[in-house]
Amino acid sequence: MQSQTPELNRRDMLRAATGLMAGMTWARFAHAEDRPPVRRPRATSGDTAVEPDWEQRITITVGPSNADLSGTTEKVIQAAVDYVARMGGGTVQVLPGVYRLRNAVYIPSGIRIVGSGLDSVLKKEPSIETTLDEDSDWYDQEITLKDASGFQVGDGICLQCKNPHHGGAQVVKRTLVARSGNRFKLDKALRDNFWMDTKPSVATLFPLLTAEYATDITIENITLDGNRANNAHLDGNYAGGIWMQDCSRLVFRGVTSRNNNGDGLSWQICHDVLVEQCHSHDNADLGMHPGSGSQRPIMRNNTIERCGIGIFFCWGVKYGLAEKNTVTDIATAGVSIGHRDDENLVRDNDVLRSGQVGVLFRPERGEGYTPKGNRVENNRIVDSGGDDGIGVDVQGVTAGNTIARNEIRETRGPASRIGIRLGAESGENTLVENRIEGFTTPISDLRTR
């Protein structure tokens, strides 16, 4: 019997190899391009790849009166969204009115929210703030407030402190779901430590419309008002008029996002986002914020006014398009491109009266971090900065970008203004047929000094 063992092992190996080859053959067949096409798509359980394009889905109206669901808070909009989601997706129509929000509206996949333009206004209620009165550990699902005046069950909140382990900023967003005196239960555990020696704060801060890990969301013809004068600041990594994270296939069309003490429109690690015909104005930070890792964003035919930065390409934004936008009266940079933002096209935009610079290539951390392969073409960049303003500023070791056929003009007098500045450490960037007028120095190449 012992002498037969090697032979049996060889047979087993042969059978296994034969099975593996068969499996590989089937895998190649199953993914072949010549498989029969789907000629009669039908809805099949679990299969969304070829589901028909239905002519009609459910629509629920929300409004102050004469609507399927009546009310003027985020609760009625959330109820409509949740109902439509249970039906497999559809539209929530927000009728004319002013809706006062104490929490974000959370949007799942397959939802379209459509308003009546400037007549449908989602407005954030004034923020209130206090501190914690007891330590909360990362596994806790409750907090104790020093002063609970004004806080209500259902409120969206933001906890902030210095991380007790490394000293960096720590931000957690939650909802208050139950209460006993100054103790509030949260919708989810903290998952971070909030200890008294880090001076943790709690404020009713949140985005107005938000989604995470969702797909196929459309937001159209609605107005978002952040009530900036009555709200504390929260930056675009955590909030905005619209704030999305880890989503794909999003459409923002005809949205007005205004007066937010943070960003107007922000999407983080979101792919294939289309933003068109939107108006982002008078927001403290970024008008439009294609956030870290976002692939293939399209921003087209939008108006951005009086924000901190106009269009901000965050970290690792690639293959994006910003075209035919009007960016005016921005506090700092009209368009900002930086950390590993590669292969983006900024084309045919009007960038007017930026506070410091029209288009900025940020210096970042040095070699390997700066943007490359970007094309800034056929834009009109006019009256950038103060007396020492710059039309296009290429900072750090930035290299491998093209600046072509732009009209870069200064109408206020030359002063000490520069059309295009190439930083002393910058690499090779291609300048082609730019029309530069009205500057003391049309092109300042600091590399030659």
Query: What DSSP designation does 113 have?
Result: E
Model pLDDT, residue 9: 52
* 335 to 151, 189, 287, 329: CA distances (angstroms): 39, 38, 10, 12
Average pLDDT of span 88-102: 98
Q: Which helix or strand (DSSP H or E) is residue 412 part of? A: none
CATH of 58-125+205-448, picked from 3.50.50.60, 3.50.30.10, 2.160.20.10, 3.30.420.40, is: 2.160.20.10
E strand or H helix that includes residue 47: none
So what's the pLDDT on residue 8? 45
Torsion angle (degrees, nearest 10) of CA 239, 245, 251, 256: 0
DSSP 136: B
Question: For tokens 């923002």, what's the residue?
Answer: 252
4 phi and psi angles, rounded to 5 deg = -85, -10
Q: With CA atoms as reference, report the closest residue to 97 among 137, 63, 147.
A: 63
- Is a pLDDT exceeding 80 seen at residue 208? yes
- Separation of alpha carbons 428 and 311, rounded Å: 24
CB 143 within 8 A of CB 202: yes
Instruction: Pick the more confident residue, 267 or 46.
Output: 267
What one-character-per-residue DSSP string does 329-394 give?
Answer: S-SSEEEEE-TT-BS-EEES-EEES-SSEEEEE--TTSTTTS-BS-EEES-EEES-SSTT-EEEEE
User: Taking all residues of the chain, what is their mean pLDDT, rounded to a whole number?
Assistant: 93
pTM, two decimal places: 0.90
* pLDDT, tens only, 312-361: 999 999 999 999 999 999 999 999 999 999 999 999 999 999 999 999 99
- Partner residues linked to 252 by β-bridges: 219, 275
A 10 A CB-CB count for 82 gives: 15
Q: What is the pLDDT of residues 124-183, one digit of tens each?
A: 999 999 999 999 999 999 999 999 999 999 999 999 999 888 888 999 999 999 999 999
Each domain of the chain, given as residue ranges in start order, spans: 58-125+205-448, 129-203
Identity at 427, one-letter amino acid code: G
Rounded CA separation 221/117 (Å): 4
CB-side exposure of 361: number of CA atoms within 13 Å? Answer: 34
Cα atoms found within 13 Å of the Cα of residue 180, Cβ hemisphere only: 2
Give mean pLDDT, residues 24-42: 70
